[in-house]
Structure 1
Amino acid sequence: MKVRSLLLANLVIVAAMAGFAVWAAGIAPEGMELPTHWNAAGEVDQTMAPLPALLMPAGISLFVALVFAVTPMLEPLQHKLEGSAPLLRAVWIGTMALVVAIQGIIAAPLFGYSPGAGAILVLVGLLFVLMGNMLPKSRPGFFVGIRTPWTITDADNWIATHRLGGKLFMLAGAVLVLAGLFDVPAELRMVATLGGIVVAALIPVAYSWWFWRTRSRSGKGA
């Protein structure tokens, strides 16, 4: 899998984000701090000076670039990696877009706006929807997809598990989007958010074991 073009694009974005951070910090009123964290109620509970607050997303974007660039090199199943390339590229691009948007949300108070935590939930939810849509297009590997002992060793198990996982990730993403769009109690928002993520993460793992167990009993397992 070729990553050079995406890596270059990501590095250009990092440079642009760093430049924006320096410019935006320069126009910030003296003593102003920007939000960097929100609690379950959507209230700001952590702030930082403008420059470090705005450089933080740029640093995260650089880290993401390095992780996604190195991952294909570490994959033992190189001959199957190209089958998961669409998922890897989509998640990479989606994560880049998410981090850029988060920098914009942090900078928003400088321009008279306060999108708040709800906007971040919506964006993360959309990333989950993207991941869910792309999961069924992946193939067995050690660094991409829902990796269990049963999916990695059985292509049929991988495909079935990722079809289910894709639907659950899209459902969890929709829950996150709704939780971000509507003004709901903090407790309900937290339960819906964590519940959706846990369901999307754990059910496919249990299903991959069940799929393997069923095939083993029927004599079709490896």
Structure 2
Amino acid sequence: MKTVHRYLLAAGFVVLSGIVSLLASPSLPADLVTNWGATGEPNGTMPMLLALWLFPALTAGLLVVFAVIPRIDPLRENISEFRSYYDWFVVIFTLYMFVIHAGIVAFNLGYEFNFTYLILVAVAGLFYYSGVVLTHAEQNWFVGIRTPWTLSSEEVWARTHALGGRLFKLTAVLTLVGLLFGDYALYFLLVPALLTAGVTVVYSYYLYERIEGGSDTTSGSNL
């Protein structure tokens, strides 16, 4: 499947979101529930028109951004090396946005389910594939774990992303495990996600100092 076909598939999910909004609007109340607490209890609303079109419009805008990134990145040739993985991330992201949007509409149509669980399952899928992308990502300015140290060393980039990919996948698995723990389920996403962010940043710094510091020491000893 070529890039253009993958983007057409992603655009299809945006169109589906709009169709869902059009079909559901006559049966929806003036204000829709759009926020839920950690326990799945509704705790916020939004005017119907805004709620119905926010996600389709936001997804469409982000789809344009995703399409532009490979063209404007100074290291665009590196993105081309993992372009298929990048494109499928775009497809999965738009699917994720469609699922959340459809879930909001379904909940407000009277279907009863734990919306927090829906979000957690969707996020788990998005996180797992993000881990896949990270393990294949080449050095660039937009996609991946972009710290000063990963952007300054190809080796630091590669090793940090190898670790980050595994941690993202582990976070996804723990998120699904968290569904078994009721009101505490959200913490099985938040805690691993925060730890992943912190660990990868610290690890990239550690690697850079060890690799570049070792190079400096070696160079100095040869003077």
Q: TM-score range by the shorter chain?
A: 0.7 to 0.9
Structure 2 counterpart of 1:137: 136
In terms of mean alpha carbon deviation, does 104-113 or 192-201 score higher?
104-113
Instruction: State how 1:146-161 maps to structure 2 within 5 Å.
Output: 146-161=145-160
Query: Could you list the per-position Cα deviations for residues 148-181 of structure 1 after superposition, in whole angstroms to 9, with x for gaps in the alignment?
Result: 22222322211111110001111111222223x2
Question: Are 2:195 and 1:195 aligned?
Answer: no
Q: Which residue of 2 aligns with 1:60?
A: 58
Find out whether 1:42 has 2:32 as its counterpart: no
2:70 match: 72
* Partner SS state of residue 76, structure 1: coil
Q: Which amino acid aligns with 1:130?
A: Y
Deviation at 1:39, TM superposition (A): 1.4
Which residue of structure 2 lines up, in the alignment, with residue 166 of structure 1? 165
Contact 2:3 2:84 in 1 (8 A): no
Gap change, CA 1:15 and 1:184, over 3 Å in 2: closer
**Contact map agreement 2:34 2:104 (CA 8 A) in 1:** yes
Alpha-carbon distance, 1:9 to partner: 3.4
2-structure distance, mates of 1:6, 1:86: 9
Report Cα offsets for 1:46-101 as digits up to 9, x if no partner. 12344432322211211220220121122001221212323421321111110111
Partner of 1:91: 89
> Shift of residue 211 of structure 1?
1.0
**1:166-204 deviation line (CA, Å, top 9, x unaligned):** 01111111222223x22433xx44443321111111211
Distance in 2 (CA, whole Å) between partners of 1:106 and 1:92 is 21
In 2, Cα distance between the equivalents of 1:45 and 1:182? 23
Distance 2:185 2:67 in 1: 35
Q: Which moved more, 1:105-114 or 1:115-124?
A: 105-114
Shift in Å at residue 38 of structure 1? 0.8
| More deviation, 46-55/194-203 | 46-55
- The 1:182/1:34 distance shift into structure 2, 3 A limit, reads farther
CA distance in 2, matches of 1:194, 1:12: 31
- Structure 2: runs of 5+ lacking an equivalent: none
Alpha-carbon separation, structure 2, partners of 1:77 and 1:65 = 20
Q: Write the distance in 1 (CA, Å) between the matches of 2:19 and 2:84.
A: 30
Q: 1:194 to 1:131 in 2, by over 3 A?
A: same
Kept in 2, the 8 Å contact 1:105–1:115? The answer is no
- Rounded to whole Å, the distance in 1 between the matches of 2:112 and 2:61 is 28
Query: Matched residues in 2 for 1:26 and 1:201: separation?
Result: 43
1:17 counterpart residue number: 17
Paired residue type of 1:17: S
**Residue of structure 2 equivalent to 1:205:** 201
Cα RMSD over matched residues? 2.4
SS in 2 for 1:140: coil
